[in-house]
Amino acid sequence: MNVWSFDFPWAFLLLIPLLYCLYKCKITPNPRYFPHLHFFGAVGKWRNLEWLLKALAVMLMVGALATPVVVDFSDPRNRNGIDMVLALDGSGSMNASGFADAGSRESRFEIVQKIASDFVMKRLEDNVGVVLFGDFAFIATPVTYEKEIIAEMIGYLNHGMAGQNTAIGEGIAQSVRALRDSKARSKVIILLTDGENNSGSISPKEAVKMVQRAGIKLYTIGIGKPGEFDNALLKQLAADGGGKFFAATNQKELKAVYDEINTLERSSIKSKQHTFFTHYYQWLLAPALMIVLILMWRRRVWV
């Protein structure tokens, strides 16, 4: 993602007095007399063109003074974010309704898709991946900076794609594998489920040990009515993983949970001195100088 900006945008304020003066402050040349004026063409058109060239030169020089720059946020040097994985429960129970706002018949999974996609798009400096788990777990998207692709892929997921049961241990373990090649200083897993661990060959206890060895922080979110998810297990997993446990009984509460995690896990903000810019003032200054040289040469010829 490339972002255009100016180091000194206030410089454009100079255009108002400069263009006004250029229009009003006419240069009165010294009178010269030549008897054979018919040898010269009409100068009216040239004078209009000359004023336009002067105005263009002034605008280009002011634009160069404002210093246009581009920051390429796809360049790893311009990012100092967190590598995180969203581990989403895709079991059959996620098809249940009643979790949405009043009047909506969306399933839990559909609501999670929307809120998770919105969360991903807010993580501007981070690399994000997605893991879906049910009877087993799989990496739906690798950890990447391409937020639009991640959000789009979340929309393609469906409950039941990984089976009908809930393998929380498998979901955590697969998330650790997704972060295996991460070089980030801070790595996070955010696990969401509406059920209890009842499937998979890796237990949650074994999976959280993998989290600890890899230096990853684990957040857990239980959604649904009280008693539907394993409150004690999710609390323990978050405590052992150095994170925090959250519970949400409806769509509004779930959105608030992701907003809080977004606040807790803030990326380090780079100072201007450590951000890599590409300056483009020379592309404005060069044609401005060329116009000035043409005007000077033209005036010399006329004199």
Decide which of 263 and 212 is more confident. Answer: 212
Could you give the residue ranges of the DSSP H alpha helices within 123-230?
A: 147-156, 168-178, 204-213
Which CATH number is 81-264's, of 3.40.50.410, 3.40.50.300, 3.30.1360.120, 3.40.1790.10? 3.40.50.410
Question: Residue 44's pLDDT band (boundaries 50, 70, 90)?
Answer: low
- Whole-model pTM over 0.85: no
Listed in sequence order, the residues at least 6 apart from 69 whose beta carbon sits closer than 8 Å to its beta carbon are 4, 5, 6, 7, 277, 278, 279, 280
**pLDDT tens digit sequence for 237-252:** 999 999 999 999 999 9
pLDDT, tens digit, 9 for 90 and up, residues 130-156: 999 999 999 999 999 888 999 999 999
Task: With a cut of 50, say whether residue 274 has pLDDT above it.
Answer: no
**Which part of the chain is CATH 3.40.50.410?**
81-264
Kindly indicate the confidence band of residue 39, based on its pLDDT and cuts at 50, 70 and 90.
low
